[in-house]
Structure 1
Amino acid sequence: MKTTRTFPGIILLGLGLYFMLQRAQIELFPGFFDWPTILCLIGIAFLVPAYAGGDTQSILPGVLLLGIGLHFHFVNVLDIWPNNIGIFILFVSLGLILKARKTNAGLLPGILLFIISLITIYYDHIMSWLQITNTGIADPGKYWPFVLLAIGIYFLISKKD
């Protein structure tokens, strides 16, 4: 019963603190009073009952919302922060991996998405390291969606052991 009150309690506590700081004009860092901070607060509100109360279903949305909020804070501040779809796949994979650690099940999809996210984030570096140019039929990026479709179909039609 306690976990059902934890989420709204943290949301209200976080928003109250956020609006109190806004009213007092205390900005903890540049861009603090933008919408990504609200996403971070909601993500934290999902994660606290997930780890304090054992609500494992809240881990994935918590990591995803916290990650997206952090991404939009960092993308304009840190030059090394990646700004492509791979970073969002990374947050989903981290959420799945953290959930699998808590439930001892479902680690493989998290690891696969983690690998896909790293390939997506560092695609240009990988291609230059392999000395592959993106010209004509030799472009491996053309076949990437088909590989993902095939893996997805395999997971949907394969039976559990």
Structure 2
Amino acid sequence: MDLNGQRMFPGILLIGFGLYFFLQQSAFTWVKPYLGWPALLLITGISFLVQGLKEEGSGILPGVVLTGFGLHFYVVDYLGWWANDTGVFILIIAVGFLLQHQKTGHGLLNGILFLFLAAITLFYGTIKQWLGPLESFWQFWPLVLIAIGGYLLFVQKNAGHSRKKS
């Protein structure tokens, strides 16, 4: 990363925070309801996104996550169709990984896994209905996630170390 890249994130962040605090002190009353903590998430997220899109892409994931979470906390009260569910947060993370993959070529598997998990979480009730008599097995799906995570952390890691020693 060159010197300009190192200035981009803090520059945008400082401008955004400066505007935030200026508007808090200003007489513009119409903007006051929008100056809560989600605005700080948006400012920080946009700073990461701009840096990630202009530079090597490392800021895309935190940018999408922070911007998405900030937007979620604004729109959840105004859009009746917007889900206020854990699955929305997982979906935002999935989008972050997929956009990061578009820029860097890394994170596709993570994006697909999070997208799958978001779909399960958002459509949990429908999936339980589809399963019918197998519904009792559905209660164990969190254990499947734990098992896959353990495999990725410990078994696959150890397999990689044994290959390196050979």
TM-score (structure 2 length as normaliser): 0.82
Q: Distance in 2 between matches of 1:110 and 1:42?
A: 22
Query: Unpaired segments of 5 or more residues in structure 1?
Result: none
Q: Tell me, in whole angstroms, the C-alpha distance in 2 between the residues paired with 1:131 and 1:109.
A: 26
Whole-Å separation in 1 of the counterparts to 2:29 and 2:8: 27
CA distance in 2 between partners of 1:6 and 1:24 (Å)? 30
DSSP-derived class of the 1:139 partner: helix
Aligned partner of 1:152 among 132, 149, 152:
149
CA RMSD of aligned residues (A): 2.2
Q: Which runs of 5+ in 2 are unaligned?
A: none
Please state how far the C-alpha of 1:147 moved relative to its aligned partner: 1.1
Structure 2 distance, partners of 1:41, 1:131, is 43
Name the larger-Rg structure.
Answer: 2
Alpha carbons of structure 1 residues 83 and 141: separation in structure 2 relative to 1, 3 Å = farther
Q: Tell me, yes or no, if structure 1 residue 61 matches structure 2 residue 58.
A: no
Q: Which residue does the alignment assign to 1:3?
A: 5
Between the two proteins, the alignment pairs up a number of residues equal to 155
Mapping 1:97-108, distance limit 5 Å: 97-108=98-109
- Name the one with the larger helix percent: 2
| Counterpart for residue 117 of structure 1 | 118
- Runs of 4+ in structure 1 off by over 6 angstroms are none
Any conservation in 2 of the 1:47–1:62 contact (CA below 8 Å)?
yes
Aligned-partner Cα distance in 1 for 2:136–2:79: 30
Aligned to 1:49: 51
Give the structure-1-normalised TM-score.
Answer: 0.84
Aligned CA distance change for structure 1 residues 81 and 141 (closer, same or farther; 3 Å): farther
